[in-house]
Amino acid sequence: MKSHRKELWFNIPQRRGFKNITYDVQKEVSESGIKEGLVLVNAMHITASVFINDDESGLHQDFERWLEELAPEKPYSKYLHNRTGEDNGDAHIKRTIMGREVVVAITNGQLDFGPWEQIFYGEFDGKRKKRVLIKIIGE
Ligand code: ZN
């Protein structure tokens, strides 16, 4: 079995944002030389997510609105966590809702997606450097 590991670094300039990382993941699959296997992609921070969905118009604004309804950023006093002096209680919850990682099958050297599936990085406490782990196993 072969394996391949890569960290992707991001610095999202706003507190929240979504970034399509499908191309970056496929690039690592291609560089790994692995034709049949699995790729794990996970956020390495507890205030960011990796998830799969479509890149359709409006969808990311809908996610943003829905997450703000469920776990609004403000008032900061809403969260017990923020009594530690942090202000990111909402970001921890948003990360848990949107998920830590995805696993995608690799078939014939390609990401074996369903229709319209793409991989996204979701940032909920940005304006700093954060990273995503890509781990590929197979042969
Ligand atoms: Zn925190």
Write the CATH number for 61.
2.60.120.460
Cα dihedral 72, 73, 79, 82 in deg (nearest 10) = 170
Alpha carbon of 33 to ligand 1 centroid (Å): 38
Residue type, 47: T
SS3 82: helix
Tokens 């991001």 correspond to: 10
Q: How far is the CA of 31 from the centre of ligand 1 (A)?
A: 35
In angstroms, what is the span from residue 47 Cα to ligand 1's centroid?
7
| Domain total of the chain | 1
Q: CA–CA separation, 89 vs 4, rounded Å?
A: 34
In the chain (139 residues long), the average pLDDT of successive 10-residue segments reads: 97 97 98 98 98 95 98 98 97 98 98 98 98 98
For 59: left if phi > 0, alpha if psi spans -120 to 50, otherwise beta; the answer is alpha
pLDDT at 38: 98
Cα(79) to ligand 1 centroid in Å equals 10
Rounded to a whole number, what is the distance in angstroms from the first to the last CA of the chain? Answer: 5
Q: Which of 131, 124, 132 is nearest to 64 (CA)?
A: 124
CB 12 within 8 A of CB 124: no
CA 119 to ligand 1 centroid distance, Å: 25
pLDDT score, position 111: 98
pLDDT at residue 93 in the model:
98
CB 111 within 8 A of CB 25: yes
Domain interval for residue 35: 2-138
Q: How far apart are CA 43 and CA 121, in angstroms?
A: 8
